[in-house]
Amino acid sequence: MNEYYDAIIVGTGAAGLYCALNLPKRKKILMLTKQGADLSDSFLAQGGICMLRGEDDYEDYFEDTMRAGHYENNKRAVNLMIRSSNDIIRDLLWRNVDFVRAEDGELAFTREGAHSRPRILFHEDITGKEITQTLLDQVKTKENIEICEYMTMVDIISKDNICGGVIAMDAKNNVYPIRSQFVVLACGGIGGLFQNSTNYPHIAGDGLGIAMKHQVKLEHLDYIQIHPTTLFSHKPGRRFLISESVRGEGALLYDKNGQRFTNELQPRDLLSQAIFEQMEKDGTDFVWEDMRPLGEKTIMQHFPNIYQHCIEEGFDPRKEPIPVVPAQHYFMGGIQADLSSRTSMRGLYACGETSCNGVHGKNRLASNSLLESLVFARRAADDMIFGEAPEMCRPDRLDLNQYEDQNVILEGYHKQVLNEIERMKKANE
């Protein structure tokens, strides 16, 4: 690890990796991640990635996204994401991402909740892993990109609202100031702040806390998505997601008496609310999801990962319903970013779940997350290449003595984020 890079990217999920791959080979890039490079939430995405299916699909796709977001979306951002989708998919195919194809060889599409038609490409039920692992493998072949694992960003270097790098800390609390004209925060959401979440526990909003420290603008921190269907378990730790596309393919939800009680294809927030209400009415800790209407062939071919996990928990979805419960899943708020992923601090970018560019509004439409991450990661790369570069930030001095214990520092950031979430919730009541 050197003292200076042309760009520093914090996070090795889909957004961070794609941003790095879209920067020129002449740029020396450092990628930081606080755990292993393959332990990002992008690897956990099951359902798929959306794609505009021709001009006759544009209005429906736009309306589906807006309706799911309660019409609080940034229309320009939604348009940009949708219009960019075909180019992104072509690039992923060129990079040898393996999407399922129909018998005629054409790309196969599935449908998920709140979509008016099938427009979601997938790879079994591990689409996020297929895309992100492909990108990670390619990054590892690039001589200009260095990945530094088990290295935690604990601060950014700045002066006069210009970013000049990051302060990183290893597991032994050794401190490293690393300078760069450009820093990209692609460090994920806030699932680690919650007891029940589908996210990895180490992804806990560090970047948000650091941004707050430097008065970088944040937006809608109270916009937190609950996924309606995660596999109920008494075991501690991350909740296992039962993909939206399971219901999109025909799975049904039952109450304690085995009766349907709601429309399974509602937007996630409305369906989660319906499930919570039914659980309270029944006095249960879960409801039942029945995958049997899909048929054994679809379960085994489209959802093999889900099937195997259910078997490990003692349920055979081919023969019986499985218990599901809502859990924290996704973060629609974050560091305010424009259509080029620029934040309010010059030289600092944010993309992926860390950012809030307005695409998702108040509630994300299923399978828009991977697409949004890739579109705006490339926008960040383009701006670093073609945009007006800020003057080099040169702080007078860096007080490295303030960074003594990584855990203490991060706990402070996490408390700040939780307090701000509560403040925003109360302000909007």
> Quick one: tokens of 128?
């996020």
Q: Name the band, by pLDDT with cuts 50, 70 and 90, for residue 323.
A: very high
Residue 215: CATH number of its domain: 3.50.50.60
23 shares its domain with 107: yes
**pLDDT in the model for residue 362:** 96
- Catalogue the active-site residues: 268
Nearest to 318 by CA among 301, 335, 338: 301
**Of 104 and 1, which is predicted with more confidence?**
104
Picking from 278, 309, 328, the residue at the C-terminal end of a domain is 328
Give, as one character, the DSSP assignment of residue 403.
-
183 shares its domain with 69: yes
19 shares its domain with 53: yes
217 shares its domain with 282: no
**Scanning the structure block, which residue is given the tokens 């604990």?**
154
336 shares its domain with 324: no
278 shares its domain with 255: yes
The reported pTM is 0.93
Determine how β-strand 151-159 pairs with β-strand 7-10: unpaired
The whole domain housing 250 covers 228-328
CA distance 327 to 369: 17
In the predicted model, what is the mean pLDDT of residues 87-93?
98
CA distance 159 to 167: 14
Percent of the chain having pLDDT more than 90? Answer: 92
Number of domains in the chain: 2
Q: Give the tens place of pLDDT for each residue, 343-384.
A: 999 999 999 999 999 999 999 999 999 999 999 999 999 999
Does residue 178 register a pLDDT over 80? yes
**pLDDT in the model for residue 103:** 92
219 shares its domain with 281: no
Residue 244: CATH number of its domain: 3.90.700.10
Inter-residue contact 323 to 278 (CB < 8 Å): no
> Quick one: tokens of 33?
């991640």
101 SS3 class = strand
Inter-residue contact 380 to 341 (CB < 8 Å): yes
181 shares its domain with 318: no
255 SS3 class = coil
| Mean pLDDT rounded to a whole number for the chain | 96
CA distance 181 to 250: 50
CA distance 73 to 53: 21
Contact partners, residue 190, CB within 8 Å, separation at least 6? 199, 203, 204, 205, 208, 224, 331, 417
308 shares its domain with 358: no
Does residue 234 register a pLDDT over 90? no
204 shares its domain with 236: no
Residues, the chain: 429
Picking from 328, 363, 389, the residue at the C-terminal end of a domain is 328
96 shares its domain with 170: yes
369 shares its domain with 318: no
Determine how β-strand 224-231 pairs with β-strand 322-331: antiparallel
Picking from 291, 309, 328, the residue at the C-terminal end of a domain is 328
Tell me the sheet residues that pair with 9. Answer: 31, 184
